Chain A
Amino acid sequence: MSKFIETNGRHRTIEGWPLVFTILTVLAVLVGGTVEFLPLVLMEGNIPVISSVTPYTPLELTGRDLYIREGCVNCHSQMIRPFRDELERYGDYSKPGESVYDRPFLWGSKRTGPDLARVGGKYPDLWHVRHMEDPRSTSPNSIMPPYYWLLSRPLNLNSLERKMKGLQRLGTPYTDEEIQGAAADAEAQAQNLARNISANGGPSDLAEKEIIAMVAYLQRLGTDLKKATK
């Protein structure tokens, strides 16, 4: 070792060989990542399958992409850790099998607001509409930004087919029929939600607005496991 690092030792020699030096550096860098990552891809047991976890519906997928667009992940995690206080506050801890359709994963790294991994079903649909429009109306003192534009911007379902095809190629089990009927499916789910919202005294014109997709997505979060226990 000391031969290697002394003032005119072996290391000095490779300092004169940039190519060798670079190759050694690349090797040093690749070892760690490879050793850690390969088992994750190769060993199935690392991510146990949960049969009740199914892909997002077209409308939920649209809502998820809005969630990404607005950067909600910068303030909200979707990853409940197995601690007593988190179980109490947010519900059962998150399982690896729950995010198998999450591209990208949205676990987050900062909780400026509460965890949302199991927010689905916690509030009525209308609550989310009011909260997104003006968080202070449902949660006094909230520091969450308002997202009123979601209530006025039209819902865009044009790219749904392309998106679902992309996901299908990556392994999400959407059938071809589901992809072809995606827009119709999304519209139907949106109509349902919108009817429920206006029946409860909310605005009546939301079926074709972005907010509907967002509510659909939020109400889906974490509900797959409940399906299983039902």
Chain B
Amino acid sequence: MEKSTISTGENSSDAGTMTAPMGHQIVRYDDQVVRYFIIATAIWGFVGMLVGALIALQLPFWQANLGQYLSFGRLRPLHTNAVIFAFAGNAIFGAIYYSTQRLTKTRMFSDVMSRIHFWGWQFIIVSAAITLPLGFTTGKEYAELEWPVDILIAIIWVIFAVNFFLTLKIRREKHMYVALWFYIATIVTVAVLHIGNSLAIPVGLFKSYPIFAGVQDAFVQWWYGHNAVAFFLTTPFLGLMYYFLPKAAERPVFSYRLSIVHFWSIVFLYIWAGPHHLAYTAVPEWAVTLGMVFSIMLWMPSWGGMINGLFTLRGAWHKLRDSVVLKMYVIGITFYGMSTFEGPLLSVKTVNALSHYTDWTVGHAHAGALGWNGFMTFGMIYWLLPRLWNTKLWSPRLANTHFWVGTIGMLLYVMALYSAGVTQGLMWRAFDDAGRLVYPDFMETVIQIIPMYWVRLVGGLLYLTGMGMLGVNMIMTIRRAPEKPTDAAITVAL
């Protein structure tokens, strides 16, 4: 259990009027762009989950399909894009800009690029919010945006990457801390995935056809789709965990060796796992088997991350009582562990035969999304609010209520869908003694799970309420902050 020897940090934050001693200079971080990203995270999080609540209502109550622009088929992609790329996206950018500057002891390479990244990304989100309801879609999950927006995403991502790597180049800390490894993996892999899966030829301003068809298109799509989960919702959040958890717990990371081993195995293994989304389909059997084997292998390095996170709290568990931030991280990391155990399970072909196409998958997605991505983001925001705005959090009690409301909401959501998924999966395959389907009418299997859809809606609304509480706490905290909050700075030798 060796001690991490890597520095995670800054040594001064209240440096508004600091003057540098002889032979030193003051380096001020760009915290303004972090403030932007954090505010954007809260706004889009609320909007994206509100759309989630609307489509959750549309399933048991079809009357909530409000005309062609707001019907389920068009809004579902809007929800997934909003929560993944706008909520989780802005959150990881905030985390990356905040921690990278501190880990490299330097300001971001270019303020202009940081601003282009921020505003460009918000513009992309607004384009998505307009084009998806209008019906401009590629029809490929999590890659629905049509080619003009795709090109814009590629450009903004490259600007982000250049700014990030040039910051690494001018760093003042020789060695890169583990959080930075995960950011590197995120930035390069998302670029590769996005370009690979968007290869298409335009046949109109908002219409294109992919260069691959059928089986090959399916394969490329799930190579992308699965690794969007891996490199947009997992690796950057692990980076976030590695930076913010030790900070909040005031403990070094549990094991440096473990972080090396699980980093490289995650980066190497994840890519192979995509075909588990295509079990028993027309994709060749060997590919699916390969996907299954690698998915099962992924369990271990994933738990390596969980263990490194939870064990970082060794000797600090008593701090949980007073720290809503740590409580949120514990829920987040625990649900990371649960989803990465469930994922390999779902890749086993016999389990997949039951779960695939049912709400079990959606339940699984939200255990990860609400539990891991949501709570890690909330923990980070509550930790950052007082630090970025040089004041105290407006209401720790409200934050604590958010924790409970969110946790109960998430549990209701996930339980409801597990039960809906297993129920429907079993009904589909039920045969009677005479060898006939017990439920030949598909609607019978739908009516059975409608009560569960209502429970899911209640869970989702609770979770959304928690999101609203975060919003209120954020607004009130910012309102009592000084007019111009100061950016943190450090003194470094010339």
Q: Is the A/B pair a real complex? A: yes
Contact B260 A99, beta carbon cutoff 8 Å: no
Query: How far apart are B198's CB and chain A's nearest CB, in angstroms?
Result: 11
B2 at the interface (CB under 8 A from A): yes
- In the complex, what residues of B have CB within 8 A of residue A140's CB? 443
Contact A100 B213, beta carbon cutoff 8 Å: yes
Q: Decide yes or no: A141 and B447 within 8 Å by CB, A18-B165, A26-B188, A32-B269 being known contacts.
A: yes
Q: Decide yes or no: A25 and B188 within 8 Å by CB, A11-B260, A159-B204, A170-B209 being known contacts.
A: yes
Contact B139 A96, beta carbon cutoff 8 Å: no
- In the complex, what residues of B have CB within 8 A of residue A47's CB? 214-216
Contact A149 B68, beta carbon cutoff 8 Å: yes
Query: How far apart are A194's CB and chain B's nearest CB, in angstroms?
Result: 22
A167 at the interface (CB under 8 A from B): yes
B interface residues, how many (CB within 8 angstroms): 98
- A40, A141, A159: residue with the most chain B Cβ atoms closer than 10 Å: A40
Q: Find residues 33-77 in chain B having any chain A CB closer than 8 Å to their own CB.
A: 58-60, 62, 65, 67-68, 71-74, 76-77
B361 at the interface (CB under 8 A from A): yes
Q: Find residues 70-104 in chain A having any chain B CB closer than 8 Å to their own CB.
A: 70-75, 77, 79, 81-86, 88-89, 94-96, 98-104
| Chain-B contact segment, one of A106-114, A184-192, A197-205 | A106-114
Q: Decide yes or no: A71 and B204 within 8 Å by CB, A21-B181, A40-B216, A99-B282 being known contacts.
A: no
| Chain-A contact segment, one of B17-25, B270-278, B332-340, B481-489 | B270-278
- In the complex, what residues of B have CB within 8 A of residue A46's CB? 215, 284
Cα(A85)–Cα(B436), bound, Å: 9
From A7, A40, A73, A170, contact of B211 by CB (8 A): A170
Instruction: Write the B173-197 contact mask toward A (1 if CB under 8 angstroms, else 0).
Output: 0111000010011001100100010
Contact B184 A113, beta carbon cutoff 8 Å: no
Contact A105 B168, beta carbon cutoff 8 Å: no
B261 at the interface (CB under 8 A from A): yes
Cα(A19)–Cα(B358), bound, Å: 44
From B136, B220, B264, B446, contact of A28 by CB (8 A): B264
Cα(A11)–Cα(B218), bound, Å: 37
- B139, B211, B217, B359: residue with the most chain A Cβ atoms closer than 10 Å: B139
Contact B283 A96, beta carbon cutoff 8 Å: yes
Contact B176 A18, beta carbon cutoff 8 Å: yes
From B260, B272, B437, contact of A5 by CB (8 A): B260
A interface residues, how many (CB within 8 angstroms): 86
Cα(A218)–Cα(B494), bound, Å: 71
A137 at the interface (CB under 8 A from B): no
From A6, A25, A103, contact of B257 by CB (8 A): A6
Contact B62 A145, beta carbon cutoff 8 Å: yes
Cα(A114)–Cα(B209), bound, Å: 26
B290 at the interface (CB under 8 A from A): yes
Contact A94 B281, beta carbon cutoff 8 Å: yes
B287 at the interface (CB under 8 A from A): yes
Instruction: Write the A114-142 contact mask toward B (1 if CB under 8 angstroms, else 0).
Output: 10000000000000000000010001111
Contact B211 A101, beta carbon cutoff 8 Å: no
Contact A36 B280, beta carbon cutoff 8 Å: no
- In the complex, what residues of A have CB within 8 A of residue B60's CB? 143
Q: Find residues 1-47 in chain A having any chain B CB closer than 8 Å to their own CB.
A: 4-8, 11-12, 15-16, 18, 21-22, 25-26, 28-33, 35-37, 40-41, 46-47
- In the complex, what residues of B have CB within 8 A of residue A230's CB? none
- In the complex, what residues of A have CB within 8 A of residue B150's CB? none
- In the complex, what residues of A have CB within 8 A of residue B268's CB? 28-29, 31-32
Cα(A95)–Cα(B270), bound, Å: 28
From A12, A100, A102, A114, contact of B175 by CB (8 A): A12
- In the complex, what residues of B have CB within 8 A of residue A224's CB? none
Query: How far apart are A150's CB and chain B's nearest CB, in angstroms?
Result: 9
- In the complex, what residues of B have CB within 8 A of residue A98's CB? 214, 282
For residue A111, which residue of chain B has the nearest CB?
Answer: B357
From B165, B220, B267, B361, contact of A110 by CB (8 A): B361
Q: Decide yes or no: A16 and B174 within 8 Å by CB, A40-B287, A145-B71 being known contacts.
A: yes
Query: How far apart are B34's CB and chain A's nearest CB, in angstroms?
Result: 22
Contact B442 A113, beta carbon cutoff 8 Å: yes
For residue A145, which residue of chain B has the nearest CB?
Answer: B65
Q: Give 8 A-B contacts (CB < 8 Å), ordered by A residue.
A: A16-B175, A29-B271, A32-B270, A69-B137, A101-B213, A109-B361, A145-B73, A165-B203
